[in-house]
Amino acid sequence: MIELLAPAGNLEKLKTAIIYGADAVFIGGKQFSLRANASNFDEKDLIEGCEFAHKYGKKVYVTTNIIPHQKDREGLIEYLKMLERAKVDAIIAASPLIINTALKHTSLEVHVSTQQSAMNLNTVKYFQNKGATRVVLARDLTLTEIEDIVSKSEVEIEVFIHGGMCAGYSGRCSLSNHLTNRDANRGGCAHTCRWFFDLTKDGNKETEVPFSLGSKDLSAVREIPKLIDMNVASLKIEGRMKSQHYIATVVNTYRKLIDEYTEKGFIENYEKYEEMLKLAENRETSHGFFYGLPTADQQLYERRSERVMQNFVGLVIDYDPLTKLASVETKNVFTLETLEVFSPNFDAKQFENTIMYNKDGEPIERAYRANEQIKVMIPFEVKPYDMIRAKRN
């Protein structure tokens, strides 16, 4: 069975990813990890996250994928031993220093990060001989190249299927280093490729409209059957900085797509899954390098495409089947209006929101702010971690 691997920037996102269908999650600890601005996990959260995932029969991988300088070596062995004590299922590493240290001093399984830009079979075999059990391929490969590597490899192969692409070789970029003094390969990426720039010559602008170097996000909805058929071991979603709602939406979409193909041997309606993904807060998407070098229509150039949506309005905390009142943690403003429950347990259901109470039990017509707990009458049973959406464009 192919693995669906999801990102988790904190403990709540880890639980959400597991509940909404991920087979495994990848997270960052407080050291040796890219995405330093994510909340990341201390030892207590690591232990709780692993216990939660293992209770569901799922796995936890920890990113130790920085490209370390000499001074970054301090505390490495102790940190890796802490991950071992927490019962982490594997680490994801790029540097031979971290890979070799983990294999020598712990029993941790090692996956080679996409930061190594593995783009050929010899590279995969090199890391196999070093002791790695999985290699995450670079995001710059075609489906044909991936299939060739998978067919000849003796280790597991992991492939990115959704999320941000990088201006550098599979994440190995130095734009942030040079323009902001924030080292992208040590956790400080400033996403400089998404900034707008002017092209000038002799002090004069050569372009009327500023441009960016960023590409559209990757989305492999239509490529999933091909990747399953070629025996890729793991399908990876990018986005440890993404919201809880984004993770739930994207993970659940790919979970249902994978399950349909596994059960039927074909996908009846790709458009259904593409529409489901549009409910997440994301940028425009493309198929990346799967069919060759990206063309101009896969770049953003003169535009931004983030869609900041406010349709995620509440998270279910619990539900009383007698009163039909759900305790809801508010996420955005909403009123007495048509709402939808998004759940891993059933297809999305709409209901008319006619009765709400504030924390003092007083009737209200509007939930004004985020992170308050209110009561909402929902005519059907819901469970913790079900999400409430407003029907907004």
CATH of the domain at 9: 3.20.20.70
289 and 349 together in one domain: no
User: Are 222 and 333 in a shared domain?
Assistant: no
CA 6 → CA 54, 215, 240, 390, 393, distances in Å? 15, 21, 9, 25, 26
Q: Which residues contact 74 (CB under 8 A, 6 or more apart)?
A: none
The answer as to whether 273 is a domain residue is: yes
Query: Do 287 and 325 belong together in one domain?
Result: no
Tell me whether residue 125 is in a domain. yes
Residue-range definition of the domain harbouring residue 246: 3-298
For residues 228 and 343, state if they share a domain.
no
On whether both 246 and 269 belong to a single domain, the answer is: yes
Reading the block at residue 41, the tokens are 């996990």
In sign, the C-alpha dihedral spanning 383, 386, 391, 392 is positive
Give the number of domains in the chain: 2
Average pLDDT over residues 129-156: 97
| Interatomic CA distance for residues 142 and 119, integer angstroms | 10
Of 233, 268, 298, the last residue of a domain is 298
DSSP class of residue 336? S
Pairing state of beta strands 90-93 and 110-112?
Answer: parallel
Side chain identity at 141, as an amino acid letter?
Answer: L
Burial class (CB in 10 A: 0-12, 13-18, 19+), 280: buried
Q: Let me know if residue 306 belongs to a domain.
A: no
Please report, for the chain, how many H helices and E strands are present, in that order.
10, 22
Residue 188 has pLDDT above 80, yes or no: no
Identify whether residues 192 and 218 lie together within a single domain. yes
Alpha-carbon gap, residue 56 to 33, rounded angstroms: 26
Which of 31-35, 63-67, 206-210, 379-383 is least confident? 31-35
Find the CATH number of the domain harbouring 327. Answer: 2.40.30.10
Answer yes or no: do 213 and 335 share one domain.
no
pLDDT of residue 96: 94
Does a structural domain hold residue 303?
no
Q: Which amino acid is at 383?
A: K
Element (H, E) at 249: helix 244-264
| 273-294 pLDDT, tens digit each | 999 999 987 778 999 999 999 8
Q: Report yes or no on 304 lying in a domain.
A: no
196 — pLDDT class (breaks 50, 70, 90): confident
107 and 23 co-located in one domain? yes
Residues 218 and 338 in one domain: no
End of a domain among 298, 333, 363? 298
Residue 92 has pLDDT above 90, yes or no: yes
- Which residues, including other chains, have CB under 8 Å from residue 393's CB and lie 6 or more apart? none
135, 166: one domain = yes
Q: Which residues contact 223 (CB under 8 A, 6 or more apart)?
A: 143, 161, 287, 290
Asked, for residue 307, whether it belongs to a domain, the answer is no
Identify whether residues 98 and 233 lie together within a single domain. Answer: yes
What tokens appear for 227 in the block? 């990747």
Neighbour order of strands in the sheet with 363-364: 349-352, 338-342, 387-390, 312-320, 325-330, 373-377, 356-357, 363-364
Question: CA 70 to CA 49: how far, in whole Å?
Answer: 31
Whether 360 is covered by a domain: the verdict is yes
pLDDT for 262: 97
- Shortest CA distance to 93 belongs to which of 135, 58, 46, 53? 135
Measured between alpha carbons, how far is residue 39 from residues 25, 163, 271 in Å?
15, 19, 34
Please, are residues 30 and 46 in contact by the beta-carbon 8 Å criterion? no
User: pLDDT tens digits for 203-262?
Assistant: 888 888 888 888 889 999 999 999 999 999 999 999 888 999 999 999 999 999 999 999
Which domain-ending residue is among 237, 267, 298?
Answer: 298
Tell whether 37 and 149 lie within a shared domain. yes
Residue 88: inside a domain, yes or no? Answer: yes
